[in-house]
């Protein structure tokens, strides 16, 4: 069975992967990228990106990802459709890392940059899925601006939900917060922030029954999970804040990760627990989760990979 040798393998696309590819290609690392199941990552489901520097008029997510891919390819990145299905990382500095793509193609790589991202958790009801990108979002910081002075709702009871509800309250007319249990999981400080905002209404023991609207969100039907009573409210935006799942299952028992599955990298670095393996973007960042921060760590990962290879070359020469 033939094994292809790659100097710099990038697993996953999106802002982190494509930025890593741009820098790696310019450093003559001849990067090969496998896009994964969702080429372009989460931004391909975002209709408007208004907060990425350099786009004064904003840009839609899919177009931005196409442009990032074109830029990476212009410098020599080879972008391939495919998914890593098996990995075996070397413990040795200068060792070869083995990767299987789509259960059939075998690769060995001197360096690997992991940019597989994290997937937002959704409720999974049909009306919610239908209106993703039409008023249903999993990122208030990304999309809240589009609902300025409008009525919105947010689902979740943890710190992220409380933080995003407070953020939305600064720009929206009113925020309805749906908490599944009879209390929030958020810290007392975050709960206090929510409870002191006059334009946030917290509905406990309440879940989404149906998101109303054909093309865009026009309202929400809620259900009290104790009384089974249903109620409809008018909203134009629904934000889901029930957590993210990092796409790291394939790396379990190979790389160090935290209890929720995010890859652990050295401080001020993208180095993982294995030499020559680097992680960038949402796969190792559960705090910021923005396109611009993902791109920044993609740049860092490529620079880290370049330095790693340079140090090995120097050691060989000596």
pLDDT at 180 over 90: yes
Question: For residue range 237-278, what is the model confidence (pLDDT) as tens digits?
Answer: 999 999 889 999 999 999 999 999 999 999 999 999 999 999
Write out the DSSP string of 123-165.
---HHHHHTBTTTEES-HHHHGGGGTTSEEEEE--SHHHHHHH
Q: Is 258 a catalytic residue?
A: no
Mean pLDDT of the 185-195 span: 93
Inform me whether the pLDDT recorded for 112 exceeds 60. Answer: yes
Q: Are strands 136-137 and 237-240 parallel, antiparallel or unpaired?
A: parallel
CB 74 within 8 A of CB 59: no
Tokens of 8: 């710099």
Q: Which residue has the higher pLDDT, 40 or 121?
A: 121
Domains 3-119+244-317 and 122-240 share a fold: yes
Task: Tell me the average pLDDT of the chain.
Answer: 93
Per the model's pLDDT, the better-predicted residue between 289 and 257 turns out to be: 257
Which residue among the candidates 8, 50, 143, 172 is catalytic per the annotation? 143
Share of the chain above pLDDT 90, in %: 83
Q: What is the Cα–Cα distance from 260 to 246, expressed in whole angstroms? A: 8
Q: What is the pLDDT of residue 287?
A: 86
CATH superfamily of domain region 122-240: FAD/NAD(P)-binding domain (3.50.50.60)
CA distances from 77 to 20, 80, 202, 278 (A): 10, 10, 49, 18
Active site residue 143: yes
Is the per-residue pLDDT at 290 higher than 60?
A: yes
Q: Are 203 and 222 in contact (CB under 8 A)?
A: yes
Query: Which three-class secondary structure state does DSSP give residue 280?
Result: coil
| Tokens (6 digits) for 182 | 């009879």
* Residue 205 banded pLDDT, cuts 50, 70, 90: very high
Above 90 in pLDDT, residue 142? Answer: no
Query: pLDDT per residue over 72-92, tens digit each?
Result: 999 999 999 999 999 999 999
Structure tokens, 167: 């953020």
Rounded CA-CA distance 278/12 in Å is 12
Domain ranges, ordered by start, for the chain: 3-119+244-317, 122-240
Residue 71: is its pLDDT beyond 90? yes
Please report which residue ranges of the chain form alpha helices under DSSP H.
14-26, 61-74, 126-130, 140-143, 159-171, 188-195, 291-317
**284: Cβ contacts below 8 Å, ≥ 6 apart:** 246, 262, 263, 264, 265, 270, 297
Task: Please report the pLDDT score of residue 95 as a whole number.
Answer: 96
Considering the candidates 8, 28, 60, 142, report the single residue annotated as catalytic.
Answer: 142
Instruction: Count the helix, strand and coil residues of the chain and give each as a percent rounded to the nearest 5.
Output: 30, 30, 40
Which of 139, 282, 285, 304 is labelled catalytic? Answer: 139
Per-residue pLDDT, averaged over 136-155, amounts to 93
- Domain 3-119+244-317 superfamily per CATH: FAD/NAD(P)-binding domain (3.50.50.60)
Is there a catalytic annotation at residue 139? yes
Residues 36-53 have a mean pLDDT of 74
């Amino acid at each position: 069975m033939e094994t292809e040798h790659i100097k710099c393998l990038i697993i996953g696309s999106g802002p982190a992967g494509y930025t890593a590819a741009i820098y790696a290609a310019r450093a003559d690392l001849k990067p090969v990228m496998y896009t994964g199941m969702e080429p372009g990552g989460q931004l391909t489901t975002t209709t408007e990106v208004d907060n990425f520097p350099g786009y004064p008029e904003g840009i839609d997510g899919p177009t931005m990802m196409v442009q990032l891919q074109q830029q990476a390819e212009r410098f020599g990145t080879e972008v391939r459709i495919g998914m890593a299905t098996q990995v075996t990382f070397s413990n040795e500095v200068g060792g070869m890392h083995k990767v299987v793509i789509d259960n059939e193609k075998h690769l060995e790589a001197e360096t690997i940059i992991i940019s597989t991202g994290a997937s937002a958790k959704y409720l999974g009801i049909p009306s919610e899925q239908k209106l993703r990108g039409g008023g249903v979002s999993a990122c208030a910081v990304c999309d809240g601006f589009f609902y300025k002075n409008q009525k919105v709702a947010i689902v979740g009871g943890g710190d992220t939900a409380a933080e995003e509800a407070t953020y939305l309250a600064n720009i929206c007319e009113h925020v309805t917060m749906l908490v599944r249990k009879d209390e929030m999981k958020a810290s007392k400080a975050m709960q206090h922030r929510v409870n002191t905002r006059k334009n946030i209404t917290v509905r406990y023991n309440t879940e989404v029954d149906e998101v109303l609207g054909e093309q865009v969100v026009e309202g929400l039907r809620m259900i009290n999970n104790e009384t089974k009573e249903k109620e409809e409210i008018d909203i134009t935006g629904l934000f889901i804040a029930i957590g993210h799942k990092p796409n790291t299952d394939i790396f379990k028992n190979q790389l160090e990760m935290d209890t929720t599955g995010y890859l652990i990298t050295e401080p001020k670095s993208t180095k993982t627990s294995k030499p020559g393996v680097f992680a960038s973007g949402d796969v190792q960042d559960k705090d910021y989760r923005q396109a611009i921060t993902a791109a920044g760590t993609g740049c860092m990962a490529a620079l880290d990979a370049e330095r790693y290879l340079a140090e090995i070359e120097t050691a060989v020469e000596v």
